Structure 1
Amino acid sequence: MGQKMDKGGFWTPGPPDIMSIAWNCRGLANPRAVNFFKELVQQVRPSLIFLSEILGKKKKIEKVCRTIHFADCFVVESHGQGGGFALLWKNPGAVEIKGSCNHYIDFEVVCDQIGRWRYTGFYGCPERYRRYESWELLRGLADESNLPWCVVGDFNEMMFAHEKRGGKPHPRGLLDCFTKTVSDCGLMDMGFVGNEFIWERSRGQYKWIHERLDRGLAN
C-alpha cells in the first residue's frame, strides 16, 4: 500500500527491502525544497526515487544524488519553464533504463529476492485536450513487457468523481477514459494511507478545490 506525502508525492514498498519514492518536487533549485528532500530520504530510506518537474539541469540532480549518497541517476532535463524528470537509485547495478521521454522514465529493477521487475515513473499531460496522449503512452508501455509492473507518479487525472472536492464536477468522460486505460493495461490502484487530496487550489477560500492526481498502479 502506498503512503502519501504532505507536499505532493507518493512512496510505496516494492519487493522485500525495496522502498521507492515518486515526488512532483516542482523544482529543486530552492534550498528549502532540497532540505525537505534530504529529510524525506532520511525518513523513508528509499532505494529508488522518481522526481518529476525538476525544473532544472542534470548537473543539479547529480549534485543532489551525491549529497544523499546514491549510486547514480538518470535525468531527462527540463525545457523552458517546466518539466524534467530524474531517477535516482541507491545500489550500483540495480537499475536498467529501458526508455524515456518527456512523460516517463521506464526501467527494470534487478532484485535478488524476486528477480527482475519493472517500474515506470509517469507524468500525465496537464492539458485536458491532450489526456488521450497520456493513455496512448501508457497502453504502449503495457505491451512492451510481461514483467511484474509498477507505475507511479502524477497522472494529472482522476479515476472517480469522489477524488475531487469543490468546484464543478469533473467531466465523466475524462474519468472513464483513465479508468478504462488502467483496466486495459492490466493495472490496479495500490491504494494509499494519509491525505488523499494532494493537489489543491484557492486554499481557505469558498472556491477551494482538492483533487487526487498522484497514485500508484501495479499489475
Structure 2
Amino acid sequence: MELVRSHDLTIFVVTETRIQGEAAKRVISSLPFAGRSIVDPIGFSGELWMLWKLNAFILDIIKKDEQEIQAMVKVRHSNFSWLFSGIYASPKFSKRLFLSNNLIEVSDRLNLPWLLAGDFNEILRPIDKIGGRNINWNRAKFYNNCMDHYNLIDLGFSGPRHTWSNHREDGSLILIRIDRA
C-alpha cells in the first residue's frame, strides 16, 4: 500500500507474492485498483498480478499464462493506446524460451509502443551480478539478442541496482539485477 500511495500508481504489476487463495484476495481487495488480472501460482512458484485504476485506463487482456500478462492499454480521454506486458519469467531457462517465442510473436504482429516490466530472471551484463558463479554468457547473449530483436531500451532504475539477493552474510552474498522495465 505504501508503494501505491507514495508513487501514485495507476498500473501495478506484482510478481512472486508468496501468498495465494483467500490471503491474496484480501491483499488485492485492500489496494485501490478495481481492474485486475491474476495468474495464480503453481505451488509457491510464480504468481503474477496486474492491477489498474479504471478511471485512468481501459485494459484489454490479450493473453495471460504463468510467465506473462499482456494487455492492450487505452488511455481514457485520448486515442493513445499501447501494449503492456507484465513479466514473471521462469527461473528455468527452457521455460523462458517459450516466453521469448510468445513475445516475438506479439512484437512481429503489433506496431504499437510497448512496455515490458517485471522479473526477467536473467541478467544482461556482468555489472548486474555480484558474487556467486560466473554469469552464463550464452544466456546473457540470448537475453541481449531478444532485446535487440524487439528494439527495446532498458529504462534504467532508481534505488538499488540489484533487485534480488540471497541475503547471506557469511561471505557468499549474491546480488543480481533481474527486474527491469
Partner of 1:109: 73
Contact 2:87 2:118 (C-alpha < 8 Å) held by counterparts: yes
- Kindly, what percent of the aligned residue pairs are identical? 26
Aligned pairs for 1:10-89 (under 5 A) are 38-57=1-20, 60-89=23-52
SS of the residue corresponding to residue 50 of structure 1 reads: strand
Tell me the C-alpha RMSD between the 2 structures.
2.0
Most deviating of 83-92 and 39-48: 83-92
Partner of 1:6: none
Structure 2 distance, partners of 1:173, 1:202, is 27
Partner of 1:188: 153
Matched residues, number: 179
Question: Residue type of the partner of 2:127?
Answer: H
Question: Residue type of the partner of 1:86?
Answer: W
Per-residue deviation, 1:97? 0.9
Question: Residue type of the partner of 2:45?
Answer: G
Structure 1 distance, partners of 2:24, 2:61, is 17
Per-residue deviation, 1:56? 4.5
Partner of 2:58: 94
SS of the residue corresponding to residue 109 of structure 2 reads: coil
Q: How big is each residue's C-alpha offset from its partner over 1:38-71, in whole Å with a ceiling of 9 and x where there is no partner?
A: 1111111100111122344465544434322322
Structure 1 distance, partners of 2:4, 2:171, is 36
SS of the residue corresponding to residue 177 of structure 1 reads: helix
Q: TM-score, normalised by structure 1?
A: 0.74
Query: Compared with structure 1, are the counterparts of its residues 166 and 202 closer, same or farther at alpha carbon in structure 2 (3 Å cutoff)?
Result: same
Structure 2 distance, partners of 1:98, 1:130, is 20
Partner of 2:138: 173
Partner of 1:139: 104
Extract unaligned runs of 5+ from structure 1.
1-37
Q: TM-score, normalised by structure 2?
A: 0.88
Contact 1:61 1:75 (C-alpha < 8 Å) held by counterparts: no
Query: Compared with structure 1, are the counterparts of its residues 162 and 52 closer, same or farther at alpha carbon in structure 2 (3 Å cutoff)?
Result: same
Structure 2 distance, partners of 1:56, 1:144, is 35
Asked which structure has the greater RCO (Cα within 8 Å, sep 6+), the reply is 1
Structure 2 distance, partners of 1:79, 1:131, is 16
Per-residue deviation, 1:162? 1.4
Per-residue deviation, 1:163? 0.8
Partner of 1:21: none
Contact 2:39 2:48 (C-alpha < 8 Å) held by counterparts: yes
SS of the residue corresponding to residue 193 of structure 1 reads: coil
